[in-house]
Amino acid sequence: MKQPEPPGSGQEPSRTPDITPLLNVLRALYPVSPAVESYLREHISIATVRKRKMLLKEGTHCEHIYFIVKGAIRGFVREGQRDITTWITVENQLVSSIFGLHQRSPAVENIQALENIQALENCDLLAMTLDDLQVMYERLPESNILARKLLEIYYADAEKRAYIARLTKAENKYRSFLLHHDPLSNRIPLKYIASYLGMTLETLSRVRKKFSSKL
Amino acid sequence: MKQPEPPGSGQEPSRTPDITPLLNVLRALYPVSPAVESYLREHISIATVRKRKMLLKEGTHCEHIYFIVKGAIRGFVREGQRDITTWITVENQLVSSIFGLHQRSPAVENIQALENIQALENCDLLAMTLDDLQVMYERLPESNILARKLLEIYYADAEKRAYIARLTKAENKYRSFLLHHDPLSNRIPLKYIASYLGMTLETLSRVRKKFSSKL
């Protein structure tokens, strides 16, 4: 991944990250105070990452939270030799190590150590270190209101993913997927969608054919 | 479920909910301001619910958030005739409709409508309405810091549940379950654990026998 620009490396407007897409997402939830907006502008860097590159490899620590301006990213874990896609996300979403956000006492075998994050397309990202995020929470208490509202959404989404993963019938899984992730169905390579839904590529293709013939 | 005491119905100490267990959980995360403590004391009621009773039935709205003082509770959804346990939780944990916490635009077919919450043991609960929770967030901004920290934990837990649900090998599933929920393994009826892990009761019994013979 391209390193974020060092601070003060350029004053021309093109060097300054345009954080408008992030501000739009935040403002839809709650007013962004001038202090929070300034803090974000000062501590956010631009990062680009090429298709198929890893943002996080298992066994390493995630140091950043990312906002996707353009592109698609997946999370995955391994079970033996198998690679299981645990989430797929696109523009206007935040991405980080879910476990990195909350540093609990390390378990002997913890899931954090299994997490992988990979770009599925060339991505333009806004990046902030998790350290800077913590400082923002402490210095600007109103930022906790925004974070609380974001976490409510991401928590409900995680629960929806758990729900889809627990369904047993391939058709029900794909129907739920379309309901919550319709724009992904013709954008993301099918092998990742199949892995996310816990079915083979053949089963997914069969179900998709069935669904499209119903239209 | 027993109705919460009407406000002002009794002044004797035994009528006042003892919110110490909740305060202990919160204080482990962040200092609880005197204003937040007073608000909690004023707006929390005691609720008791008998084993097997429902706290939330699919198609209805969850109006409360609960803190479990004593007992065990599960969440479940239905897939056709099948009942799928999505979480199991015990003392010192909060319980509510995950989707009720964040009211998103209603979908044609939404998961919220499928949620069920049921007591697995006789439970003593502390209850607060979701309306009172919202008022607390608005009036006492510092309560958002506590909520943000709690949500980080619950979000990571939801992701762990999604992870366990995605594993394919029964032994890996049960190993992850023991890692994260060991105290439940000899307390909760096996049929709910089997349902939570997406395996038959027979498979769970076989795996448990294997694990216990390794000790």
- How far B159 CA lies from chain A's nearest CA (Å)? 6
A179 and A131 share one domain: no
Q: Give pTM, 2 decimals.
A: 0.86
Which residue has better confidence, B132 or A179? B132
A73 and A137 share one domain: yes
Nearest CA in chain A to B151: A151
Q: Which amino acid is at A37?
A: E
Please say if the pLDDT value at position B37 is more than 70.
yes
For the ranges A154-168, A170-184, B132-146, the one whose mean pLDDT is highest: B132-146
Look at B155 and A158 and tell me if their CB atoms are within 8 Å: yes
Nearest CA-CA partner of A119 in A81, A69, A155 = A69
Q: In this structure, what token pair is assigned to residue A191?
A: 């092998």
CA distance B60 to B99: 12
Instruction: Give the torsion through C-alpha atoms of B113, B117, B118, B124, to 10 deg.
Output: -140
A193 and A143 share one domain: no
B179 in a structural domain: no
pLDDT at B65: 94
ipTM: 0.85
- How far A161 CA lies from chain B's nearest CA (Å)? 6
Among candidates B99, B144, B161 on the partner chain, residue whose Cβ is nearest the Cβ of A148:
B144
A82 in a structural domain: yes
pLDDT at B32: 98
Write out pLDDT tens, residues A45-93: 999 999 999 998 887 778 899 999 999 999 998 888 888 999 999 999 9
A196 and A137 share one domain: no
Write out pLDDT tens, residues A175-191: 989 988 888 999 999 99
The answer for B 37-56 residues in CB contact with A (under 8 A) is none
Q: Which amino acid is at B139?
A: R
Nearest CA in chain B to A198: B166
**If pLDDT is split at 50, 70 and 90, which confidence band does A10 have?**
very low
Number of domains in chain B: 1
Please say if the pLDDT value at position A149 is more than 50.
yes
**Residues of chain A with pLDDT > 70: what percent?**
86
- DSSP string covering A10-31, please? --SGGGS---HHHHHHHHTTSP
A178 in a structural domain: yes
Q: Does B31 touch chain A (CB under 8 A)?
A: no
B156 in a structural domain: no
Planar angle of CA B126, B132, B135, nearest 5 degrees? 145
A158 in a structural domain: no
pLDDT at B5: 44
pLDDT at B46: 96
Which residue has better confidence, A29 or B6? A29
- How far B55 CA lies from chain A's nearest CA (Å)? 19
- How far B192 CA lies from chain A's nearest CA (Å)? 14
Greatest Cα pair distance, chain B, in angstroms, is 57
Nearest CA in chain A to B115: A163
A142 and A179 share one domain: no
| A126 φ, ψ (degrees, to nearest 5) | -105, 135
Q: Does B214 touch chain A (CB under 8 A)?
A: no
Look at B158 and A158 and tell me if their CB atoms are within 8 Å: yes
Which residue has better confidence, A25 or B81? A25
Q: Does B105 touch chain A (CB under 8 A)?
A: no
Look at B166 and A165 and tell me if their CB atoms are within 8 Å: yes
B53 in a structural domain: yes
Three-state secondary structure call for residue A184: helix
Domain limits at B102?
Answer: 13-143
Question: Which DSSP category does A199 fall into?
Answer: S
Please say if the pLDDT value at position A139 is more than 50.
yes
Write out pLDDT tens, residues B161-187: 888 888 889 999 999 899 888 889 999
B186 in a structural domain: no
Q: Which amino acid is at B105?
A: S
